[in-house]
């Protein structure tokens, strides 16, 4: 476990960069600026493999390397990889989906934990997640529509029984979650792609008269519940928090001991096309991006096909969201389900909406259990390679117990804040996510990066400025020598056991 005030993995590089800039300015006799058209031309110039600048960043378990600049590449003549060797092949000429962003959920639990930290550590937390230079540059956020399990209690925005929503207000959120979200947006440079998800309608709207333990939305409350989404969006936007999109229901096939609500695929489809979609359009919110499913990969295709095969429902759908908890069955993530949806519905988007490591145990952090971070790396690489455009972690911050959570569903987060001491713990998961979020920026296009061995996982993107980002993860217990070939040139690299690397190539 590493107790630190803030990640400083780029501060030395930043100081060096500033020094170089000042030195260059002193040598220059003029202070003229290049025309913007010339700058754009330079940024969009295809990489010349013979003159590129390269940087290799590494995080390795039990090696004291956390997003550390560890190497650079030298591409030489093409070397044919042998079957006995490990090789990565990159082809930047083939482009796929456009990257939207990476981020996490700004839950009640995260917000309450945040405000129990010192102001100094609050600032360092925000910098670590949202600053593109000294942090990992999150650009995406998820929020909740009233309570979920990661709240200290169940609550709604109306008085119980108020089907006309006359008492609707978001006063509850003004204590922690709204100001926390505003700080996150400010730390991200004033823009954060935010979407919202409900865990349950109010109890009186449900067949079990309980926000918890499943139940279904009663048909007579389809319209009031659709109105509720519209009121939430307008209320948050009135507070200065733009809502980019929303999911219809978090985990609509799970009867949980916390807030939950069940929809079959047909029920979700009909609620969307007959109530939610038309209501958002009527309320002037037709530009909000609607995400269906928001549950595990195992039934991803079944849900997507039921909804997207109906043109009247599909016209409201931006994309399909999914989680990673289907591996409870046999320990194997079902990545192929993501691929099948993308192949069948190429005009719709895929977004990973939630994932975390369950059953909090601080010893796994102290011992740097590689499975915690590698679950993220493996999922992100496979999901992106199968067409996913955005990836959302669950709680961005939890306390030293893995909460607060009003039903005891305690979990891991990439960063934990000790509400007794004020210390921040940045786990290896935080750094693994950073290997993607810091370097792959919104607007990037995925390109081909193929591995010749199962022990090395890889994905790659081309940013809008022309830079290429290749992520390689070694999930084995051994160091690996491998080659990287691009544009008929080959470079040699090494990776430590249980390590992840990001290779950045720029003109």
Please answer whether residues 483 and 72 qualify as being in contact, where contact means their C-beta atoms are separated by less than 8 angstroms.
no
Residue 381 is predicted with a pLDDT of 98
In this prediction, residues 19-45 reach a mean pLDDT of 42
Band (500; pLDDT cuts 50, 70, 90): very high
The pLDDT of residue 168 is 98
Q: Kindly report, residue by residue over 229-287, the tens digit of the pLDDT.
A: 999 999 999 999 999 999 999 999 999 999 999 999 999 999 999 999 999 999 999 99
Q: pLDDT tens for residues 371-423?
A: 999 999 999 999 999 999 999 999 999 999 999 999 999 999 999 999 999 89
Residues 6+ away with beta carbon under 8 Å from 48: 507
Please report the pLDDT score of residue 41 as a whole number.
45
Let me know the angle formed at the C-alpha of 217 by 305 and 168, rounded to the nearest 5 degrees: 115
Predicted local confidence at residue 45, as pLDDT: 65
List Cβ<8 Å contacts ≥24 apart for 425-428: 425/1, 425/2, 425/3, 425/4, 425/365, 425/400, 426/2, 426/4, 426/7, 426/66, 426/128, 427/1, 427/2, 427/365, 427/372, 427/373, 428/59, 428/61, 428/66, 428/368, 428/370, 428/372, 428/373
Percent of the chain scoring above 90 in pLDDT: 90
For residue 253, give Cα distances in angstroms to 199, 291, 303, 336. 12, 16, 10, 20
Q: What is the pLDDT of residue 18?
A: 37
pLDDT band at 465 (very low <50, low <70, confident <90, very high): very high
Q: Are 99 and 442 in contact (CB under 8 A)?
A: yes
Residue 222 and residue 271 in contact, taking contact as beta carbons nearer than 8 Å: yes
pLDDT digits (tens, 9 = 90+) for 63-118: 999 999 999 999 999 999 999 999 999 999 999 999 999 999 999 999 999 999 99
**HEC-encoded secondary structure of 231-242:** HHHHHHHHCCCC
Q: Indicate the burial class of 191 (C-beta count within 10 angstroms; 0-12, 13-18, 19 or more).
A: exposed
Supply the residues annotated as catalytic: 251, 354
Instruction: Give the mean pLDDT of 430-437.
Output: 98
pLDDT in tens, 158-203: 999 999 999 999 999 999 999 999 999 999 999 999 999 999 999 9
Q: What is the pLDDT of residue 59?
A: 98
Mean pLDDT of the chain: 92
Residue 7 pLDDT grade (very low, low, confident, very high; cuts 50, 70, 90): low
Q: What is the pLDDT of residue 25?
A: 37
Buried-exposed string 54-87: b where 16+ CB fall within 10 A, e elsewhere: bbbbbbbbeeebbbbebbebebeeeeebeeeebb
Dist. CA 288–CA 248, nearest whole Å: 12
For residue 205, the model assigns a pLDDT of 98
Rg (CA), the chain: 23
Query: Domains of the chain by range and CATH?
Result: 46-97+446-506 (2.60.40.1180), 100-439 (3.20.20.80)
pLDDT at position 24: 37
Q: Is 16 helix (H, G, I), strand (E, B) or coil?
A: helix
Split at pLDDT 50, 70, 90, the class of 310 is very high
Nearest by Cα to 242 from 177, 183, 288: 288
What is residue 46's predicted lDDT score, i.e. its pLDDT?
74
Given pLDDT bands bounded at 50, 70 and 90, which one contains residue 49?
confident
Is residue 227 packed enough to be buried (19+ CB in 10 Å), middle (13-18) or exposed (0-12)?
buried
pLDDT tens per residue, range 324-367: 999 999 999 999 999 999 999 999 999 999 999 999 999 999 99
What average pLDDT does range 36-43 have in this prediction?
47
């Amino acid at each position: 476990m590493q107790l630190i005030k803030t990640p400083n993995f780029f501060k030395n590089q930043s100081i060096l960069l500033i020094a170089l800039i000042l030195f260059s300015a002193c040598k220059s006799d003029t202070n003229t600026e290049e025309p913007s058209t010339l700058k754009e031309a330079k940024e969009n110039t295809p990489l010349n493999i013979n003159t590129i600048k390269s940087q290799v960043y590494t995080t390795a378990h039990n090696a004291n390397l956390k997003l550390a600049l560890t190497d650079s590449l030298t591409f030489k003549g093409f070397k044919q990889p042998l079957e006995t060797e490990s090789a990565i092949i990159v082809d930047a000429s083939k482009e796929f989906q456009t990257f939207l962003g990476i981020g996490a959920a700004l839950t009640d639990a995260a917000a309450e934990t945040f405000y129990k930290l010192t102001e100094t550590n609050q600032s360092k937390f925000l910098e670590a997640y949202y600053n593109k230079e000294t942090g990992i540059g999150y650009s995406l956020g998820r929020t909740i529509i009233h309570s979920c399990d990661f709240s200290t209690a169940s609550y709604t925005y109306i008085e119980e029984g108020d089907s006309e929503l006359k008492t609707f207000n978001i006063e509850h959120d003004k204590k922690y979650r709204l100001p926390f979200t505003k700080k996150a947006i400010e730390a991200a440079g004033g823009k954060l792609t935010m979407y919202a998800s409900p865990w349950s309608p109010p109890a009186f709207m449900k067949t079990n008269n309980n926000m918890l333990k499943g139940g279904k939305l009663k048909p007579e409350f389809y319209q009031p519940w659709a109105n509720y989404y519209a009121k939430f969006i307008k209320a948050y936007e009135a507070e200065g928090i733009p809502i980019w999109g929303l999911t219809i229901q978090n985990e609509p096939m799970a009867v949980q001991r916390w807030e939950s609500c069940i929809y079959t695929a047909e029920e979700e489809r009909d609620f969307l096309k007959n109530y939610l979609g038309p209501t958002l359009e009527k309320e002037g919110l037709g530009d909000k991006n609607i995400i269906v499913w928001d549950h595990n990969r195992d039934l991803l295709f079944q849900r997507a096909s039921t909804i997207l095969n109906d043109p009247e429902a599909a016209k409201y759908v931006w994309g399909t969201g999914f989680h990673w908890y289907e591996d409870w069955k046999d320990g194997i993530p079902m990545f192929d389900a993501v691929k099948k949806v993308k192949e069948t519905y190429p005009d719709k988007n895929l977004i990973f909406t939630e994932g975390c490591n369950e059953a909090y145990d601080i010893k796994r952090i102290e011992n740097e259990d590689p499975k915690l971070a590698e679950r993220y790396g493996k999922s992100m690489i496979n999901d992106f390679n199968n067409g996913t455009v955005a990836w959302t972690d669950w709680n961005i911050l939890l306390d030293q117990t893995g909460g607060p959570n009003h039903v005891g569903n305690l979990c891991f987060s990439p960063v934990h804040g000790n509400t007794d001491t004020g210390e921040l713990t940045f786990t290896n998961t935080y750094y693994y996510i950073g290997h993607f979020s810091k370097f792959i920026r919104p607007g990037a296009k995925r390109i081909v990066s193929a591995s010749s061995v199962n022990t090395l996982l890889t994905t790659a993107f081309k940013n809008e400025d022309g830079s290429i980002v290749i992520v390689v993860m070694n999930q084995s217990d051994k160091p690996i020598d491998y080659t990287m070939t691009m544009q008929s040139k080959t470079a040699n690299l090494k990776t430590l056991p249980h390590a992840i690397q990001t290779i950045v190539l720029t003109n």
